[in-house]
Amino acid sequence: MSLPRRKVYGLIGYPLSHSFSMNYFNNMFESENIDAEYVNFEIPEIGDLMEVVSENPNLSGLNVTIPYKEQVIPYMDEIDSEAELIGAVNVIKIIKTKGGDVRLKGYNSDAMGFQNSIAPLINPKRNRALILGTGGASKAINRALVNLGVQPVFVSRNPAEDQLAYTDLTPEVMADHKVIVNCTPLGMYPNVDQCPDIPYECLTPDHLCYDLIYNPDVTTFMRKSRANGAEVKNGLEMLLLQAFESWNIWNL
């Protein structure tokens, strides 16, 4: 009788040099004696997803990171209601049917990870937020902030209706929005000197500046925000919380 093959999980995105997910999961598998492996699948375009799935018959689940959280949706056979509401997928459960077919179901664990991470830092003064960026991650952040009773507005280089441009961030706007979340890749390793173009001099100790980036652990956005008195936090705790939720989804 043949032994069951080791399960494989992984991450799709491009690039992946910044990601800690592979080390996190493989360390967890080792410490808990789980017979599984986590692999980085750095794919230059989302169409390569199906090749990853077909070439890895033991693949049981995937995480999705920049820039594919929205682009991956058309490849899903089914989408969880929360992910559909958010409009972004960062967890894929790979389901093998009895007939040998493979089905992909999309979920979103970013919203819950972020919500649980930022909740202890929200107070009555922090009831409005600026979300920097409009990509897939920002949609989950928007959902989490609304869940917490915080009124968010998106800030974009090319704003749509009901969004702000970076040039709209006047002292009055900054004073009115005490939570600022960086959902852009600006400042991510290896481009660690970059940061969003906001008026950092308008920040105060009442402000919370949260960066989804966790590599480096102190980004330029965080450093400049802290220098002007703001409370800062990086995305490492969110990563760990959403990774834990991913594992739960894969093993439902």
The neighbouring-strand residues paired with 182 are 132, 211
Centre a 10 Å sphere on the Cβ of residue 151 and count the other Cβ atoms it contains.
12
| Cα separation, 184 vs 212, whole angstroms | 8
139 noted as active-site residue:
no
Q: Which two tokens stand for residue 160?
A: 């749509």
3-state SS class at 131: strand
- What is the b/e burial string over 190-208, where b = at least 16 CB atoms within 10 angstroms of the residue's CB? eeeeebbebebebbeeebb
Q: Which two tokens stand for residue 45?
A: 């375009």
3-state SS class at 87: coil
Residue whose token pair is 């991650």: 137
CA 95 to chain centre: 23
Q: Exactly one of 7, 69, 93, 233 is catalytic; name it.
A: 69
3-state SS class at 73: helix
| Cα separation, 162 vs 229, whole angstroms | 29
| Cα separation, 245 vs 232, whole angstroms | 24
Nearest to 212 by CA among 244, 238, 179, 243: 238
List, by residue number, the catalytic residues.
69
